[in-house]
Structures are given as C-alpha cells and as structure tokens.
Amino acid sequence: MEVIIRARGIGKGVGTGPLLVTDAPISFLGGVDPTTGVVIDPGHPLEGQSIAGRVLVFPHGKGSTVGSYVLYGLARNRVAPAAIVNAEAETIIATGALIAGIPLVDHPEISLAELPAGVTATVDADAGEIQIEEGT
C-alpha cells in the first residue's frame, strides 16, 4: 500500500530511496563531505551516515551560501541525496537542489517527525508529492 503526502514542489524531478530523517538543520559546507556524501559535522545526529541515494529529510539548511555548491558537488560526484524534504527550504538548499538537479519539496502536510526513517519513499517535485511505500 502506498501513502501519498502532499507538499510544495520546488524544482523538478523524481527521486526514490530510503528515508534518512533528522530534526537538526544541515550545513553542507563543512557538514557533509562532498566526495563521499557522509555527514561529517561533529555532534550532528546523522554524523557518520551517508546521504547518497537517500531521501534526506531535515527541517532547513544553515550556514554559508557555498553550501549550494556543495550540493552541486555531491551530484557531480554521484553521492547526492536522491531527493530532499524540508519543513522550509530556504535559499541555500533550494538553489543547491536546483543546480544539482535534486528533487526538493517542502511544507509537507505532516510533520517531518512522522516520516518513518528507513522506509522507501519517492519524492515527485513536479507533482508536489511524497509517496511512502508502507511495509518496506
């Protein structure tokens, strides 16, 4: 069975992967290794985990505007998230997702904490939807 959650689509595209969920903002500049896709921000709840191929769920970005280019670098190195879900996608994340071709949605109709980590999800930024595969 599939559950569909409405959200605001930003950019274009569709990405599928397991949900990687955190309640902490992410700084891509200095917080994520652009060559490996591993979160390196000391003390971050996702420290040591790879975002590559995952549907990355976090409230919003933080830090320098160079973070947009880190997202682009992640995509060029083929270690970018399959898609991003934010509570509020601010300029750094939106710009990075757009130039990197990463599907991005924000303002989902449920709280981010309700998204089940590890479950396969498809983010369709064109339709403004997050599709959750129940039972995965």
Q: Any idea what the CATH number is for the domain that residue 62 is in? A: 3.50.30.10
Provide the domain limits for residue 118.
2-133
Domains held by the chain: number: 1
The per-residue pLDDT for 135 is 66
The per-residue pLDDT for 123 is 98
The per-residue pLDDT for 130 is 98
Q: What is the pLDDT of residues 23-36, one digit of tens each?
A: 999 999 999 999 99
Among candidate residues 50, 64, 68, 111, the one labeled active-site is 64
* Sites in the chain below the pLDDT cut of 70: 135-136
The per-residue pLDDT for 11 is 79
Rounded Cα distance, 13 and 128, in Å? 10
Rounded Cα distance, 92 and 62, in Å? 8
The per-residue pLDDT for 106 is 98
Annotated catalytic, 68?
A: no
β 14-21/104-106 pair status:
unpaired
